[in-house]
């Protein structure tokens, strides 16, 4: 089904996730009636999404246009770029996945956990590969990020080059392979019609520290610590994990790993060659207590304060194998993701209560650096690529605005920049870049094993329950006689304490009796109408009496049979 929002010969660009948020990245490029998908990620929920495990994009547009999909192209292996792939494959037939390096291993590992998903073939690309499709050639540019094998994607079209950066930072002394700056300059000299660029750190001034400098800082820290080292970092940051391993070896420490995602990352990293542990330095977890404290490094998950991660369980004294004690040093080799600061602070406070030393990234110690470019990096990208048109992506709305301002500083005309929301379709042609319309791009909530069966109404109810409580009215009636057989019973949970508030509960029970009795006398009685009437009347009265709005649930038992 052709996209009716686009004019003939217009290229369509839009996002199903990643705009106005940091997460669930999914970008769609429509070229000559072909759909190219870039990334398929998840968003980790903040506190207002009660009980939600994570959020994925709405795939409805792809379901309706499945026959035009060419493939899914992956920039790198972070969860906010690959996490929703199993859910996408359940809904949409994808002919082929194109991925590189450890992204291939991570996707394959992820799909083994979803045995009900039929996986398409994965084409493993390298930075020099080119794929030709109708009116477009796709190629790749290696960039630096906090995970190996990060590639920007170039769409060479009749209009010129379209470049999607993916996540990146400028690092002139990276731990892994260097970025291909020559390719960036080349597409700039050829003519870049449109740039889509990572906006995560668009508000941040100054230079982002090189990962190699962080490695030296970690080694210096290790040399000064005499007790056990418990260090938390992102499981996906394989460069950092390898730096921690190397610092441990230099200081005569053996290494143990805890946390499911960490163990998976170590396995994938060792298979791909990014993680190297000499024989004799990797500890089996059951041998932990056989090693002197000054010869032990414990690498754990939980750098973001996740409640069930290894570090959080250590802080709660609920970890089966690791008990924190005086003399331990806990190092956070990470910075809190926006929205996670409260959880991180809670974990740090619990660790201090256990009388351990805690070191976080800051002026005293460089234990972390961002994988996203600062303003300096973003302007350098714009200057190298020289785009005529620009769409900032991957960031909250204020980040996109800041990135727009940086583009204007580097010479992009303000009229040639579009700030989009998820679902907004940009139409690119020889005549310009325009907002063409909107496609469906809602949030889909994953709650346990449920996919999309939790809507915004359920989230609102959970919020009300957590803040206002529940008020139930239980009544027995005989609808054939039009009688209320007993005075309604009142049950309160999280609303008011029943004992001591008998006057209020009696008043509300009497009010419910009146409402039910009147409704039963009506010629066209219907139970749903009765329940709604009870809710409406009690809601108003409860608000007057208590200034609160609990969820009201009428339970009607009809003895007519």
pLDDT digits (tens, 9 = 90+) for 487-534: 888 887 777 665 667 778 888 888 888 888 888 888 777 888 888 888
- The residue annotated as part of the active site, out of 372, 394, 402, 403, is 372
266 near 106, Cβ under 8 Å?
Answer: no
* DSSP-based three-state secondary structure for 433: strand
Mean pLDDT of the chain: 88
In 280-327, where do the E strands start and end? 296-300
| pLDDT tops 70 at residue 211 | yes
pLDDT at 107: 94
Please confirm, yes or no, whether 198 is among the known catalytic residues. yes
| pLDDT tops 90 at residue 260 | no
Q: Which residue has the higher pLDDT, 401 or 343?
A: 401
Highest-pLDDT range among 290-299, 393-402, 440-449, 483-492: 393-402
166 near 179, Cβ under 8 Å?
Answer: no
The tally of CA atoms less than 13 A away on the side-chain side of residue 81 is 23
User: What digits encode the pLDDT tens for the residues 371-410?
Assistant: 899 999 999 999 999 999 999 999 999 999 999 999 999 9
Percent of the chain at pLDDT exceeding 70? 92
User: Tokens 């990962």 identify what position?
Assistant: 211
* DSSP-based three-state secondary structure for 406: helix
Alpha helices in 299-385, H assignment, sequence order: 310-315, 341-353, 375-385
* DSSP-based three-state secondary structure for 12: strand
Question: Helices 502-520 and 527-546 meet at what angle, rounded to 10?
Answer: 150
pLDDT at 455: 54
Q: Which residue has the higher pLDDT, 126 or 335?
A: 126
User: What digits encode the pLDDT tens for the residues 30-71?
Assistant: 999 999 999 999 987 655 554 566 789 999 999 999 999 999
pLDDT at 114: 84
392 near 199, Cβ under 8 Å?
Answer: yes
User: What digits encode the pLDDT tens for the residues 137-169?
Assistant: 999 999 999 899 999 999 999 999 999 999 999
Q: What is the DSSP letter of 248?
A: H
User: What digits encode the pLDDT tens for the residues 448-469?
Assistant: 555 554 555 565 666 666 667 8
- The residue annotated as part of the active site, out of 198, 328, 443, 447, is 198
Distance CA 268, CA 398 (A): 36
Kindly report whether the global pTM for this prediction surpasses the value 0.85: no
pLDDT at 152: 97
Phi-psi region of 32 (alpha: psi -120 to 50; beta: other; left: phi over 0): left
Residue 472 tokens, joined: 């139930």
| pLDDT tops 80 at residue 236 | yes
- Tell me whether strands 150-157 and 160-164 are parallel, antiparallel or unpaired: antiparallel
Q: What is the CA radius of gyration of the chain?
A: 28
| pLDDT tops 70 at residue 338 | no
pLDDT at 498: 58
Q: Which residue has the higher pLDDT, 357 or 460?
A: 357
Q: Could you give all domains of the chain from N- to C-terminal order, each with its CATH number?
A: 11-206+370-448 (3.60.15.10), 211-359 (3.40.50.10710), 468-558 (3.10.20.580)
Please confirm, yes or no, whether 211 is among the known catalytic residues. no
């Amino acid at each position: 089904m052709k996209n009716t929002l686009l004019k003939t010969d217009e290229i369509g660009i839009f996002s199903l996730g990643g705009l106005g948020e940091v997460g669930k990245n999914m970008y769609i490029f429509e070229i000559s009636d072909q759909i190219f998908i870039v990334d398929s990620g998840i968003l980790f929920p903040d506190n207002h999404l009660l009980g939600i495990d994570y959020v994925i994009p709405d795939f409805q547009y792809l379901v309706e246009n499945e026959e035009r999909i060419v493939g899914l192209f992956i920039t790198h292996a972070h969860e906010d770029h690959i996490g929703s792939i199993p859910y996408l494959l359940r809904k949409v037939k994808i002919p082929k996945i194109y991925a590189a390096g450890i992204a291939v291993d991570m996707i394959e590992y992820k799909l083994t956990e979803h045995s009900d998903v039929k996986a398409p073939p994965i084409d493993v690309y390298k930075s020099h590969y080119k794929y030709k499709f109708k009116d477009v050639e796709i190629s790749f540019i290696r960039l630096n990020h906090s995970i190996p094998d990060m590639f920007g994607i170039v769409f060479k079209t009749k209009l010129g080059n379209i470049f999607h950066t993916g996540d990146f930072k400028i690092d002139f002394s990276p731990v892994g392979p260097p970025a291909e700056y020559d390719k960036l300059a080349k597409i700039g000299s050829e003519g870049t019609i449109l740039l889509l660029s990572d906006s995560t750190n668009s508000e941040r001034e100054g230079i982002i520290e090189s990962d190699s400098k962080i490695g030296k800082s970690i080694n210096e820290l290790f040399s000064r610590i005499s007790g056990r080292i418990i260090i938390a970092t992102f499981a996906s940051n394989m460069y950092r994990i390898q730096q921690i391993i190397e610092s441990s070896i230099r200081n005569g420490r053996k290494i143990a790993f805890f946390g499911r995602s960490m163990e998976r990352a170590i396995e994938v990293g060792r298979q791909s060659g990014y993680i190297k542990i000499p024989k004799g330095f990797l500890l089996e977890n059951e041998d932990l207590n056989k090693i002197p404290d000054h010869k032990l490094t414990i690498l754990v998950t939980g750098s973001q304060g996740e409640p069930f991660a290894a570090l959080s369980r250590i802080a709660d004294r609920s970890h089966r194998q690791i008990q924190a004690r005086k003399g331990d040093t806990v190092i956070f080799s990470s910075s809190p993701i926006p929205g996670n600061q409260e959880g991180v602070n809670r974990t740090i406070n619990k660790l201090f209560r256990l009388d351990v030393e805690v070191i976080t990234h800051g002026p005293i110690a460089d234990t972390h650096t961002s994988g996203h470019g600062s303003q300096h990096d973003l302007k350098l990208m714009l200057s190298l690529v020289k785009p005529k048109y620009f769409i900032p992506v991957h960031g909250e709305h204020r980040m996109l605005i800041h990135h727009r301002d940086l583009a204007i500083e580097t010479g992009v005309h303000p009229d040639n920049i579009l700030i989009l929301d998820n679902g907004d379709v940009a139409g690119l042609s020889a005549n310009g870049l325009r907002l063409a319309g909107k496609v469906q791009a809602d949030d889909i909530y994953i709650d346990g094993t449920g996919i999309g069966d939790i809507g915004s109404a359920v989230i609102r109810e959970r919020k009300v329950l957590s803040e206002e409580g529940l008020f139930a009215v239980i009544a027995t009636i005989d609808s054939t006689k039009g009688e209320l057989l007993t005075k309604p019973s009142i049950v309160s949970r999280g609303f008011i304490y029943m004992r001591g508030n008998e006057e209020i509960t009696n008043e509300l029970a009497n009010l419910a009796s009146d409402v039910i009795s009147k409704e039963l006398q009506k010629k066209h009685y219907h139970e749903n109408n009765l329940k709604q009437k009870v809710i409406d009347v009690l809601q108003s009265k409860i608000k007057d009496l208590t200034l609160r709005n609990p969820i009201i649930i009428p339970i009607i038992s009809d003895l007519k049979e």
